[in-house]
Amino acid sequence: MARAQHFFITIDDLARARGSEAAIAFDGESPQTLAAALQAALREPALWERWRLLQDDPDEVDPAGGATDPAATVEGSLAASRTELKVVTCLPHAIIKHRLDLLVGPNWKLRDVH
């Protein structure tokens, strides 16, 4: 398995940060709640499966997009009135981006990767 990386992500206005599909978008208010939702989305395929079933032809969706990392961790905090997430996972950036987009739409920024 690939080596774990640390992704540092910020969201300026969590109250307005929602994915475009209401049925699977994040619907919480705290950085900790978002961290728990993203951690679950990285560890388990449930969010991805729900998204896949919403597609026009679910059977044609590349199953590689449903990759998970059971050891992924996400910490959420509030700093300078913005939400900060620290994600530790061996999943590639493309998977993290897709899961974040499902949860909070394009309302996040990748600040650093180690």
> Whole-angstrom Cα distance, residue 90 to residue 98?
15
C-alpha separations of 31 from 37, 41, 71, 110, 111 in Å: 10, 15, 20, 16, 16
> Whole-angstrom Cα distance, residue 107 to residue 69?
24
Q: What is the pLDDT of residue 2?
A: 77
Q: What is the pLDDT of residue 9?
A: 98
Backbone dihedral angles phi then psi of residue 92, each to the nearest 5 degrees: -75, 160
Contact call for residues 20 and 104 (beta carbons, < 8 A): no
- Domains with residue ranges and CATH for the chain: 5-54+65-113 (3.30.70)
pLDDT exceeds 90 at position 100: yes
3-class DSSP assignment, residue 91 = coil
Q: What is the pLDDT of residue 111?
A: 96
pLDDT exceeds 70 at position 1: no
pLDDT exceeds 70 at position 48: yes
> Each residue of 63-95: pLDDT tens digit?
999 999 999 999 999 998 899 999 999 999 999
> Whole-angstrom Cα distance, residue 15 to residue 29?
6
Q: Provide the CB-side half-sphere exposure for 81 (13 A, CA).
A: 1
Q: Taking residues 48-73, what's their average pLDDT?
A: 97
> Each residue of 10-46: pLDDT tens digit?
999 999 999 999 999 999 989 999 999 999 999 999 9
